[in-house]
Every structure is written in C-alpha cells, then in structure tokens.
Amino acid sequence: MINTKTKLLGLLGNPLEHSFSPVMHNEAYKKNNMNYLYLPIEVEEGNIEEVLNGIKHMNFIGLNVTIPYKIKIMEYLDEIDPLAEKIGSVNTVKIKNKKLIGYNTDGIGLLKSLEKDSKVKVRENRFLILGAGGASRSIAMTLADKGAKNIVIANRTINKAKSLSEEVNDKSKKCCNYIDINDIENVIKETDIIINTTSLGMYPKIENCPMDTGLLNKNHLVSDIIYNPIKTKLLIEAEKKGCKIQNGLGMLVNQGAEAFKIWTEEEAPVKDMEEVINNLILKE
Ligand code: NAP
C-alpha cells in the first residue's frame, strides 16, 4: 500500500532500462510489508541539480547512483563519507534533514559477499585484482581500507594499474602493487583470492577470459564480478581446476543491502533480494 508514510528511494542514472535494482528492492520490500518504494530516476546531466533540489523536499530518504553520474553527483553533496572520498565516486546518497550525504557501497558489497559466501577474512588474504577501472577502484580502496594483507592490480593499460596502486598506497594501507595483466604468472603463487573486474567474459562475448586459467590451483578463490553470464568462462575453468568460485550476484545484492542499511539504519531483506535477482537472471 502506497500512502503518505511511504518512504521513497531511487536510482539516479541514464539509461536505466537494464538495471535490476528497482525490481530487486521493490519485490523484497513488498514481501516483507515494508513501506518503501524504489523508483528509477532517469535524468539528463543538465537537470541533476534541479532533480536533487526537488527530491530534498519530498519523502525521499536516499538514492543509489549509477553510470554515468557516480563522480558528477559529488558536486551536489553536502557531505561525503571518508571511504567514498578515497574511492572518488559515490553510488549511495542518504537524505537527512534536507542534506545529501554520499557513500560508496560497491567495494563493501563485494567484500560482504566474500565474507558471507566464502568465509573470507580480508586481513588474512592476498588479493589479485584483474582490471583498473571504476569497479576495481572501489574494490581495491575498500580492501586496503579494511586491512587486506596484500593487493596486486593487474591491467592491460599498465599506467592505470600504476596510478590506482599508488593512490591506494597514499590514501589507505600501503599494501598495493601493480603488474601488466600478461605477467600474472609472476605473482600467482603469492595470491589467495583473484577478483576479475575487467569486462572480459561479459555477455555477448562469453568466450573471453581475462587470464590463463592454467595458472590456477585448488587453493585459489576466484571471484568474477560479472553476473551476465552467471558463470563466466573464467569461473567455469577455475571450477575445473578445483578452485572455489563466486559470481557477481553477491556484489550486486550486497551493495544494495549495504545502501539500505545506510538509508534506514535497519538490516535489509537480503535473502529476498537475492531470490528476486536469481529469478530475474533465470528468466533472462
Ligand atoms: P571500466 O571502468 O570500463 O573498466 C573496465 C576494465 O576492463 C579496465 O581495467 C579495462 O582495461 C579492462 N578491459 C576491458 N576490455 C579489455 C580487454 N579486451 N582486455 C583486457 N582488459 C580489458 O568498467 P567497470 O565499471 O569497472 O566495470 C567492469 C565490469 O564489472 C563490468 O563487466 C561490469 O558489468 C562489472 N560490474 C559488476 C558489478 C556488480 O555489482 N557485480 C558492479 C560494477 C561493475 P584498460 O584499462 O586497459 O582499458
């Protein structure tokens, strides 16, 4: 039932037609009789400020932010959480007393899924992150912030890996290094967890794989943040090698659940969010 007490949430971005977030949130709220409504808010860049001003005067308690506004939104915020500041982008906004406060839950979303599904303790592990784009940035900065033992960033464009690695070391724990993505062999023996953040293997080019899977062994945990397909070539091959594997659905669900916690200071209905997403993906 939507009424005057309904708390509004939304996803700000453009385009939004392929986003799973509105359905994931709304279905889970409905199942739990929670009086929240999550709206897709597709906005042209020139209108962001006006939209945010309007939202402040409505029943909105928060927003998610997606492509292409994760950096742009920062210009309009009253406060930015220290981790989001280090990452340099915002995917979650809390609205309180007409103030906009920015957070980034992308890296935390991945970390929560590793902790919950594979009992990973970040401080005890050495991470190899494939890719140095936006997702890699959130993940590397979050892992360093939470005390990762060691992080190596491997990328095709080595300069991007270098500058991200230097930034992680400057702003957070000095635990980060970088390599060319073709030189993984040199670091794989000192790696516990491999996280693919490149788009290699994503639909429709599902035959692509970001690394030589012959280098993997059963002691590696391989996490691919891609969720379409649900099992990428990297994960299929890693599983054959006896590795524990995780796909990107956990990150997707947990970044949303962490955002909900920030907006409401309550736990999110994570199990239902997961179920909705699984059903949606099966239908695709
Ligand atoms: P991005 O900023 O564009 O970064 C893309 C990365 O992939 C870069 O490191 C790029 O390397 C690398 N790459 C692209 N094509 C390559 C190729 N042919 N060979 C080698 N490396 C290549 O993208 P992003 O926003 O970080 O997103 C990356 C992936 O994560 C996407 O598949 C996205 O769907 C997924 N994702 C999932 C979640 C989730 O919730 N599960 C959240 C965010 C993103 P260069 O620097 O050399 O170009």
The DSSP line for 112-139 is: HHHHHHH---GGG-EEEEE--SHHHHHH
234 lines ligand 1 (CB under 6 A): no
Q: Is residue 275 part of a domain?
A: yes
pLDDT at 220 over 90: yes
What single-letter DSSP state applies at residue 210?
S
Q: Is residue 13 part of a domain?
A: yes
Structure confidence at residue 207 as a pLDDT band (50, 70, 90):
very high
Q: Is residue 2 part of a domain?
A: no
Query: In a 3-state reduction of DSSP, which class is residue 228?
Result: coil
Q: Ligand 1, closest atom to CA 250? A: 41
Q: Are residues 43 and 74 in the same domain?
A: yes
Q: Are residues 192 and 134 in the same domain?
A: yes
Structurally, how many domains does the chain consist of? 2
Q: Which residues sit opposite 127 in a β-bridge?
A: 151, 193
Q: Are residues 163 and 32 in the same domain?
A: no
What residue numbers bound the domain in which 50 lies? 7-104+251-283
Structure confidence at residue 218 as a pLDDT band (50, 70, 90):
very high
Q: Is residue 203 part of a domain?
A: yes
128 lines ligand 1 (CB under 6 A): no
Phi, psi of 120 (to 5 degrees): -75, 135
Residue-level pLDDT at 17: 93
Q: Are residues 85 and 119 in the same domain?
A: no
Q: Is residue 243 part of a domain?
A: yes
Phi, psi of 105 (to 5 degrees): -110, 10
pLDDT at 126 over 90: yes
pLDDT at 105 over 80: yes
Q: Are residues 141 and 215 in the same domain?
A: yes
197 C-alpha to center of ligand 1: Å?
Answer: 5
Write the pLDDT tens digit of every residue in 133-159: 999 999 999 999 999 999 999 999 999
* Residue 7: Cβ-neighbour burial (10 angstroms; 0-12, 13-18, 19+): middle
Cis peptide before 15 (omega within 30 of 0): yes
Using CA atoms of 165, 170, 174, 178 in order, give the dihedral in degrees to the nearest 10.
10
Q: How many CB atoms lie within 10 A of CB 202?
A: 18
Residue from 200, 87, 91 nearest 138 by CA: 87
pLDDT at 208 over 90: yes
93 C-alpha to center of ligand 1: Å?
Answer: 24
Q: Are residues 81 and 185 in the same domain?
A: no
pLDDT at 282 over 90: no
Residue-level pLDDT at 36: 98
Q: Are residues 48 and 169 in the same domain?
A: no
Q: How many CB atoms lie within 10 A of CB 43?
A: 17
134 C-alpha to center of ligand 1: Å?
Answer: 7
What single-letter DSSP state applies at residue 6?
P
CA dist 158 and 182 (Å) reads 10
pLDDT at 110 over 90: yes
Q: Is residue 114 part of a domain?
A: yes
Q: Are residues 217 and 243 in the same domain?
A: yes
Write the pLDDT tens digit of every residue in 183-200: 999 999 999 999 999 999
Query: In a 3-state reduction of DSSP, which class is residue 149?
Result: coil
CA dist 141 and 164 (Å) reads 9
Q: Are residues 82 and 135 in the same domain?
A: no
pLDDT at 283 over 80: no
CATH number at residue 76: 3.40.50.10860
| Structure tokens given for 84 | 């989001």
Give the strands of the sheet with 150-155, arranged side by side. Answer: 176-180, 150-155, 126-130, 193-196, 221-224, 244-246
| Structure tokens given for 32 | 């739990």
Q: Is residue 200 part of a domain?
A: yes
Q: Are residues 226 and 182 in the same domain?
A: yes
Task: Determine which residue's CA is closest to atom 20 belonging to ligand 1.
Answer: 156
CA dist 156 and 199 (Å) reads 12
Q: Are residues 94 and 119 in the same domain?
A: no
- As a whole number, mean pLDDT of residues 169-191 equals 97
Q: Is residue 1 part of a domain?
A: no
Active site residues: 70
Residue-level pLDDT at 1: 84
Q: Are residues 232 and 205 in the same domain?
A: yes
Identify whether the C-beta of residue 103 lies closer than 8 Å to the C-beta of residue 262: yes
* Residue 10: Cβ-neighbour burial (10 angstroms; 0-12, 13-18, 19+): buried
CATH number at residue 114: 3.40.50.720
Q: How many CB atoms lie within 10 A of CB 203?
A: 11
9 lines ligand 1 (CB under 6 A): no
CA dist 89 and 80 (Å) reads 10
